[in-house]
Amino acid sequence: MRPSYGLQGRAAVVTGATRGIGHAVARELAAAGARVCVTARDADEVRRTAAELGGVGAAGSVADPDHLRAVVDLALREFGRIDVIVNNAATNLPYGPLMDVDPLAWREAFTVNVEAPLQLVQCAWQAWMREHGGAVINICTEGAGHVGPHIGAYGTSKAALLHLTQQLAGELAPKVRVNSVSPGLVRTEMARFVWEPGEEEVAAGLPLRRIGEPQDVARAVVWLASDEAEWVTGADLLVDGGTRVRAAHTATAYAIHERLRTPGTRST
Ligand SMILES: NC(=O)c1ccc[n+]([C@@H]2O[C@H](COP(=O)([O-])OP(=O)(O)OC[C@H]3O[C@@H](n4cnc5c(N)ncnc54)[C@H](OP(=O)(O)O)[C@@H]3O)[C@@H](O)[C@H]2O)c1
């Protein structure tokens, strides 16, 4: 049996929760006794996931401020509270050298990856958390701490999300704790173009010898959401199998960057 971490009866919103990391987060929160409100753009997948987890769901893009307001309204209407927000939905586009980046695509990356998390927190703060408190967890990336080939828009937007996490942590304390989790390479659709062509080689270069699974990240999120982390705010929890410390472990080239550099690779 999983520990409840005091999440029994709490209510959580998880964006981008129909597959990958967001789905694992929503599943782990539900298993810990929380009621979950899940989102994604594909309405059928949202319905399926909400039913699977015994929660509710709202279909739409996090880039749409009306959708974010509707998500908060739905969670409050159904659960009467919002204790946890997990900003997980993101895009890894546009892919390629920054000198070729279309300004509209760049703006979309910042709308989805930075502005939407802020707006969802604003909505939840105004409607519930300012008075009652809560916990926010933003899903960043291990890659936000350094640069990499062809992922400049993604990395820059996630670095902004990391900074936003710390700024909000200071502004919203003591009522609301705001933290981030930064995954390394995880077995999901978004990252399939990196891990699928030769997973063994990538895994061999990581100190913990495997790529991540969505539940590796989900367990860290659940802990940060819970009262077990009641004195933790403004923190970034790396869940990366040792990616950040690999230089002290192996002398081989960084296989993930080699993948990103390879002509023909592309994001999903
Ligand atoms: N996988 C990795 O290696 C890795 C590493 C570091 C960080 N991360 C971060 O982890 C988070 C989850 O990524 P993932 O790998 O689990 O991705 P994924 O498997 O592609 O799942 C993405 C989820 O988000 C939804 N989504 C995508 N765009 C959305 C939008 N604009 N509005 C609402 N929902 C949207 C998708 O459903 P719809 O398509 O139906 O909308 C899906 O449910 C992201 O923040 C990502 O940056 C992932």
Residue of 177, 175, 179, 185 whose CA lies nearest to 162 = 179
Per-residue pLDDT averaged across 195-215, rounded? Answer: 96
How buried is 174 (Cβ within 10 angstroms: 0-12 exposed, 13-18 middle, 19+ buried)? Answer: exposed
Where are the extended beta strands (E) located within the chain?
A: 11-14, 35-40, 56-59, 84-87, 134-139, 176-183, 236-239
CA distance 73 to 95: 34
Neighbours of 27 (CB within 10 A): 21
What pLDDT does residue 5 have? 84
Residue of 137, 141, 139, 140 whose CA lies nearest to 176 = 137
- Is a pLDDT exceeding 80 seen at residue 52? yes
Q: Which token pair is 249?
A: 């472990």
- Which residues make beta-bridge pairs with 151? 96
Q: Look at ligand 1, atom 11, and give the residue with the nearest C-alpha.
A: 88
> Distance of CA 54 to CAs 27, 41, 46, 57, 78, Å?
10, 19, 12, 10, 12
Which amino acid would we find at residue 251? A
> How do residues 126-160 score in pLDDT, each as one tens digit?
999 999 999 999 999 999 999 999 999 999 999 99
Across all residues in the chain, what is the average pLDDT?
95
Which amino acid would we find at residue 150? H
Q: How many residues does the chain have?
A: 268
Neighbours of 86 (CB within 10 A): 31
Q: Look at ligand 1, atom 23, and give the residue with the nearest C-alpha.
A: 16
Our answer to whether residue 5 is catalytic in this structure is no
- Which atom of ligand 1 is least distant from the CA of 63? 31
How far is the centre of ligand 1, averaged over its atoms, from the C-alpha of 131 (Å)? 30
> How do residues 217-258 score in pLDDT, each as one tens digit?
999 999 999 999 999 999 999 999 999 999 998 767 778 888
> How do residues 108-135 score in pLDDT, each as one tens digit?
999 999 999 999 999 999 999 999 999 9
- Residue ranges and CATH numbers for the domains of the chain are 11-188+213-245 (3.40.50.720)
pTM of the predicted protein model: 0.96
Residue 117 DSSP class: H
Q: How confident is the model at residue 58 (pLDDT cuts 50, 70, 90)?
A: very high
How far is the centre of ligand 1, averaged over its atoms, from the C-alpha of 71 (Å)? 17
Q: How confident is the model at residue 266 (pLDDT cuts 50, 70, 90)?
A: low
Q: Which token pair is 211?
A: 């790529």
Residue 18 DSSP class: S
What pLDDT does residue 136 have? 99
- Which atom of ligand 1 is least distant from the CA of 190? 20
56 neighbors 12 (Cβ within 8 angstroms) = no
